[in-house]
Structure 1
Amino acid sequence: MSTRQLKNGFLKDQAYLEIKDEIMNGNLTPGDFISENVLSEKLNMSRTPIRSALQRLEHDGIVRILPKQGIYICEISVKQINDVYEMRTSLETFAIKKLAHTIEKFQIEELKEILKQQYEQIELKDPNLFIEYDTIFHLKLMEFIDNKEMYNAFSSIEEKLTFYGKEIIKKNFERLKNSYEEHERILSELEKGNEEASIKEMENHLQNGRRVLLGN
């Protein structure tokens, strides 16, 4: 492979990641239109890697390329929300069921430290960092069950979870505190080894997030 091909491949990947970050960070909002030219200027790249990146993002279902109209940032559909939360519920309730009998004290302490950091973001009014710790909390639960396939499946929707989390906060900023308190209840029941109650708390937590996204 030539140096030029390597450079072009790098630029395509860089453009893909940077445009996706703009969307995930809320700089490009679902429902917005943007042009290749604007993205090219914004990212200081030629249109070739931009176009390639947009094709990948369209394949991911994040944007739609509309001839003569521009690039449409896709809004979250009801089906997408339901599909992701159905997957989350299956994975995370399984994890909770297992952890209620196997979780170690050091793992409980690690989760408590994550929640401590998460609470600090409420006081600092930093929703982006709050959501990062939210994702870390859920990823840790999946990590602790020591099932690589399930962890990889959960990790595959991590970006969607971050994106959805930011959309939830846009709709309801008070959800930060509620979400934190729900995490505390999940952890409290896990620490007691109470399988049924911890599963119920997780189900409630996921359904509350889903309801806010759906506007219910």
Structure 2
Amino acid sequence: MKSLSLRETAYETILEWIVSGRLPEGSVTSEIALTGVLDMSRTPVRAALQQLETEGYVRIAPKHGVHIVPSSAWRVGDLLETWIALIQFVYGLHHRSRKAEFAEAASFLLRTLEEDTPGTPDAINRLEGDIWRQWVALGQNREMIRLHDMTAAKLRWHRNDRRWRAPHRTETEPCLRNLLRAVISSPEDSGPDFFAYLHILKKTWH
């Protein structure tokens, strides 16, 4: 159990460094360097790197180090389709039984958007991503939550605030507001607003 706990700690830490940019895309590190920074033995770090390689975050090249795979190497369109399908599935499955919880999350984001100074594009983008994560978590399915987190991390969601900057914000914000209002007032009829938002999401992503 101790070894598994160390592996999970190493995995979560290295993944956070990749997503945050502390380990920049295209850079090279090594198992030895990571064991030193993490203050761990090589066994859990190696296991964590193998998992990260399986998931596409790194490429381990014997004698040449650990390469941080650029996000451009992933098929962003496929990742978006996966993320969209997951959000739609969870919402469709639970929006009636968990209506109050969905509405509460939607209300929080809508209030933020309707403030006079709702914050920087980066802050809104992060809040938007956090709200979708909350929605997936309402399904209480660990595999779905894991899939969401992995897909959002590969998309670099929290670093992709382009949609909340001019000129894209003029399309993104009204679509998201309409969706949030529909979720709050009439979730059964929110389908068209959902599709409109997802269309803008794909259109404005880079």
**TM-score, reference length from structure 1:** 0.69
Amino acid at match of 1:85: L
Aligned counterpart in structure 1 of residue 144 of structure 2, from 134, 145, 153: 153
Change beyond 3 A, Cα 1:78–1:19: closer
Structure 1 CA distance for aligned equivalents of residues 95 and 52 of structure 2: 39
Amino acid at match of 2:8: D
Q: Is contact 1:172–1:212 with CA below 8 Å preserved after alignment?
A: yes
Aligned counterpart in structure 2 of residue 38 of structure 1, from 22, 33, 40: 33
Change beyond 3 A, Cα 1:18–1:197: same
Mind listing any 5+ residue stretches in structure 2 that lack a counterpart?
none
Q: Is contact 2:163–2:169 with CA below 8 Å preserved after alignment?
A: no
Which residue of structure 2 aligns with residue 166 of structure 1?
A: 158
Q: Is contact 1:12–1:53 with CA below 8 Å preserved after alignment?
A: yes
What is the CA-CA distance between 1:23 and the residue it aligns to? 0.9
Deviation readout 1:82-141 (Å, 9 max, x if unpaired):
222222333444566678988856743441113435778x855383x5444223322444
Amino acid at match of 1:168: N
What is the CA-CA distance between 1:59 and the residue it aligns to? 1.5
What is the CA-CA distance between 1:189 and the residue it aligns to? 3.7
Amino acid at match of 2:6: L
Change beyond 3 A, Cα 1:71–1:152: closer
Which residue of structure 2 aligns with residue 138 of structure 1?
A: 132
Aligned counterpart in structure 1 of residue 176 of structure 2, from 163, 183, 189: 183
Aligned Cα root-mean-square deviation (Å): 3.7
Structure 2 CA distance for aligned equivalents of residues 99 and 154 of structure 1: 14
Which residue of structure 2 aligns with residue 72 of structure 1?
A: 67
**Which range is displaced more, 100-109 or 34-43?**
100-109
Identity percentage over the alignment? 21
In structure 2, the residue corresponding to 1:65 is in which secondary structure?
strand
Which residue of structure 2 aligns with residue 3 of structure 1?
A: none
Aligned counterpart in structure 1 of residue 76 of structure 2, from 78, 81, 84: 81
**TM-score, reference length from structure 2:** 0.72
In structure 2, the residue corresponding to 1:157 is in which secondary structure?
helix
Change beyond 3 A, Cα 1:192–1:103: farther
Q: Is contact 2:57–2:154 with CA below 8 Å preserved after alignment?
A: no
Deviation readout 1:25-76 (Å, 9 max, x if unpaired):
2211221111223222222223333222211211221111012221111122
Which residue of structure 2 aligns with residue 212 of structure 1?
A: 205
Change beyond 3 A, Cα 1:119–1:14: farther
Amino acid at match of 2:75: Q
Q: Is contact 1:189–1:197 with CA below 8 Å preserved after alignment?
A: no
Q: Is contact 1:115–1:180 with CA below 8 Å preserved after alignment?
A: no
Please state if 1:24 is matched with 2:15: no
Q: Is contact 1:88–1:154 with CA below 8 Å preserved after alignment?
A: no
Q: Is contact 1:34–1:70 with CA below 8 Å preserved after alignment?
A: yes
Structure 1 CA distance for aligned equivalents of residues 95 and 45 of structure 2: 47
The structure in which a higher percent of residues are helix is 1
